[in-house]
Structures are given as C-alpha cells and as structure tokens.
Amino acid sequence: MRAAFRLRTGRGALWVIALLFLASAGLRAALGAATLAETGTAPKPQPAGPVASCDTPPDLAAVLAMIAERQAALDLRDAELAERAATLRHARDEVGRQLAALEGAEARLSRLVSVADVAAEDDLNRLTAVYENMKPKEAAALFETMAPEFAAGFLARMRPDAAAGILAGLSPETAYGFSLLLASRNSAVAAD
C-alpha cells in the first residue's frame, strides 16, 4: 500500500510542475501578443551577456587588462613552443636520415675492411709460402735484412721445418733476437 501511495504522490508533483509550465507558456504568449498589439512589432530579445553600457570599475579594468596581457604573452609563448617543436621534429628527422646514411656507410666500410683483411691474409700466406719454398740459405740472407718484428712474424707463420732451416742459416745474434721475439709475442696477452 505504501508503494502505491508513493507512486501517486510522485505523479501529483509531476502534474503540478506540468501545469505550472503550461501556465507560464500561456502567460508569456499573452504578454507577447499584448506587446505586439500595442507596438506593432515583436519585442526585441535581450542580450544574454553583459550589457554594453555597463561601466567597469577601474580596479576590475586593471585586472582585465593584466589578464589580456597575460593571455597575449601565453599565446606568443604557445606559438614559440609550437615553432620549437616543429624545429625539433625536423632536426630529429634529419638526424634519423643521417644516422641511416651513417649505418649504411659503416656496413659498406665493414665489408671493405673484411675484403681487405682477407686479401692481406692471402698475401701474407702467399709470401710465407714463397719464403718456405726458398732455399734456407737464401731465405736466411733475406731475413737478416728484415726488421726483427717483421721477420719473426713470418717465422711464426711458417712450417717448423722451414723456419728451423732459416734460423740455422742466420747469425747467432739475429737468430736469438728472432727467437726472443717469437717467445715473447703472446706474453703481453697472458699478463692482461
């Protein structure tokens, strides 16, 4: 029973509100028709905003002027920030392009160095084979004129029997120097 009572109470309030709206509309229509009958023109709508003839107090005018200046400064700052952002995007794109070009150049250089390393290794292998195939006495005379580090490098790459034949043909001091270089070549690596 209470639910039915609440339901009827709610309906009654809605009917009262609806009747008030209808009365308001009828009153406005009657006043509008009376104004139209008196003047012959429809009433002018009033502006929704502040009236133009309203004078602004000086302290409020100063605050409004400061707000307008601040807004102009913020608009200028926004424009500067937008310009900087565009400049940064352009710079980032340019750096990306240059980085891609640099990576391409690095890949080409890496391939070139790899080819050069293989060619140098082939040249060293070929020259080592030539020294191994020479008569030991002739090769020893040639090794006597070489820089010790250079000659020791070739001796390390040679077959042991060919290197032994060349070392036997060298003067004892030169053979000792080459042997010392060969023995100490990897000592720096072991110390690290």
Residue 192 — pLDDT band, cuts 50, 70, 90?
low
Q: Which of 34-38, 80-84, 100-104, 136-140 has the lowest mean pLDDT?
A: 34-38
Structure tokens at 12: 């009654």
Query: Confidence class of residue 69 from pLDDT cuts 50, 70 and 90?
Result: very high
pLDDT tens for residues 90-124?
999 999 999 999 999 999 999 999 999 899 899 98
pLDDT tens per residue across span 12-67: 778 888 888 888 888 888 887 666 666 656 556 665 555 555 787 888 888 899 99
Residue 9 pLDDT exceeds 90: no
Q: How confident is the model at residue 7 (pLDDT cuts 50, 70, 90)?
A: low
| Band of residue 3 on the pLDDT scale cut at 50, 70, 90 | low
Amino acid (1-letter code) at residue 13? A
Say what the pLDDT of residue 19 is.
87
- Between CA 100 and CA 107, with CA 106 as vertex, the angle to 5 degrees is 90
pLDDT at res. 10: 60
